[in-house]
Amino acid sequence: MKLINLLTLGLLIIGGLVWSAAGIAGPGADVVAMALGGAESLGARVFYLLVGLSALWQLMPFVRAWRLGEADAEADRRPAAAR
């Protein structure tokens, strides 16, 4: 579970940086599209899909932290001695 959380978080950070570049330099600065052969290419579409799925996955810990409070949401992830 920790690995998928790190992977999805990494994809969201990369996706956020891509959107920041597009916001600063304009829509023609889509780094993913330039690197993967255009916005309609299979590679770019897969990347965008993975970023979207990562956002959905990261909603789970966000909702849990919102509902329980951050410290309680992370309590089951800490070693028993640290609780």
Domain range for 60 is 2-82
Give the pLDDT of residue 78: 58
Quote the percentage of the chain above a pLDDT of 70: 83
Residue 77 has pLDDT above 70, yes or no: no
Buried b (16+ CB within 10 A) or exposed e, 23-56: eeeeeeebebbeebeeeeeeebeebbebbeebee
Average pLDDT over residues 48-72: 84
Domain count for the chain, please give it: 1
**Selected residue with higher pLDDT from 76 and 28:** 28
**Selected residue with higher pLDDT from 78 and 2:** 2
Give this prediction's pTM: 0.70
Return the SS3 of 4: helix
**Residue type (1 letter), 81:** A
**Dist CA 25 CA 33 (whole Å):** 14
Residue 46 banded pLDDT, cuts 50, 70, 90: very high
